[in-house]
Amino acid sequence: MRYSQLLLPTLKETPAEAEVVSHKLLLRAGFIRKITSGVYSYLPLGLAAVRKVERIVREEMNNAGAQEVLLPMVQPADLWIESGRWEKYGPELLRFKDRHQRESCLGPTHEEVITDLVRREVHSYRGLPLNLYQIQTKFRDEIRPRFGLMRGREFIMKDGYSFDASEAEAGKTYETMHYAYHRIFSRCGLKFRAVEADTGTIGGSFSHEFMVLADTGEDTLVICRKCTYAANMEKATAMEPAAPSEEVALLPLAKKETPGKRKVEAVTEFLGITPRELVKTMVYLADGKPVAVLVRGDHEVQPVKLKNLLGAIDVELADDKQVFDATGVPTGYLGPVGLTIPVVADREVARMRNFVVGANEKNFHCLNANLGRDFEVERVADLRMVTAEDRCPLCGAELELTRGIEVGHIFKLGTNYSEALNARFLDNEGQERPFIMGCYGIGVSRTVAAAIEQNHDKDGIIFPLPIAPFQVVLLNLSPNDEAITAAAEGLYTALAKEGIEVLLDDRDERPGSKFKDADLIGIPYRVTVGKSFAQEGLVEIRKRATGETVSLPLAQVAAELGARIRAELA
Interaction site with RNA (CB under 7 A): 10-17, 19, 28, 34, 36-38, 143-147, 262-264, 280-284, 295, 299-304, 316-320, 323, 331-332, 334, 385, 459, 477-478, 480, 508, 510-513, 515-517, 519-520, 528-533, 540, 542
Specify the amino acid at residue 124.
S
- Nearest-approach distance from CB 487 to RNA, in angstroms: 10
CB of 504 to RNA, least distance (A): 15
Query: Which residues contact residue 78 at a Cβ distance below 8 angstroms, ignoring those fewer than 6 apart?
Result: none
Of 38 and 108, CB closest to RNA: 38
Q: Measured from the CB of residue 274, what is the shortest distance to RNA in angstroms? A: 14
Distance, CA of 157 to CA of 136 (rounded, Å): 6
Relative to beta strand 355-361, strand 525-529 is unpaired
Alpha helix ranges (H) inside 122-221: 167-187
**What is the DSSP-derived secondary structure letter of residue 413?**
E
- How many Å apart are CA 45 and CA 473, to the nearest integer? 13
d(C-alpha 92, C-alpha 75), whole Å: 15
Alpha carbons within 13 A on the beta-carbon side of 263: 3
Q: How far is 26 from 152, CA to CA, in rounded Å? A: 14
* Comparison of 114 and 283: residue with beta carbon closer to RNA: 283
Distances in Å between the alpha carbon of 58 and those of 114, 133, 181? Answer: 18, 9, 11
| Pick 14 or 201: Cβ nearer RNA | 14
Residue 416 or 478: which CB sits closer to RNA?
478
Long-range contacts made by residues 238-241, C-beta under 8 angstroms, separation at least 24?
238/382, 238/386, 238/387, 238/390, 238/391, 238/393, 238/399, 239/390, 239/391, 239/392, 239/393, 239/396, 240/347, 240/393, 241/347, 241/348, 241/350, 241/351
Shortest CB 144 distance to RNA, Å:
4
Q: Which is nearer to RNA, 133 or 533 (CB)?
A: 533
Q: How far is the CB of 424 from RNA (least distance, A)?
A: 37
Determine how many CB atoms are found less than 10 A away from the CB of residue 185.
27
Q: Whole-angstrom Cα distance, residue 166 to residue 68?
A: 23
At its nearest, how many Å lie between RNA and the CB of residue 28? 7
Distance of alpha carbon 248 from the chain centroid: 45
Q: CB-wise, 468 or 477, nearer to RNA?
A: 477
> In 10 A of CB 32, how many CB atoms?
24
Q: Which is nearer to RNA, 50 or 318 (CB)?
A: 318
Nearer to RNA, 184 or 334 (CB): 334
Identity of the residue, 359 or 442, whose beta carbon is nearer to RNA in the bound complex: 359
From CA 400, how far away is CA 445, in angstroms rounded?
A: 28
Query: For RNA, which is the closer residue by CB, 437 or 488?
Result: 488
**3-state secondary structure (DSSP) of residue 177:** helix
Q: Distance (Å, rounded) from C-alpha 485 to C-alpha 475? A: 10
Q: Is 381 within 8 Å of 294 (Cβ atoms)?
A: no
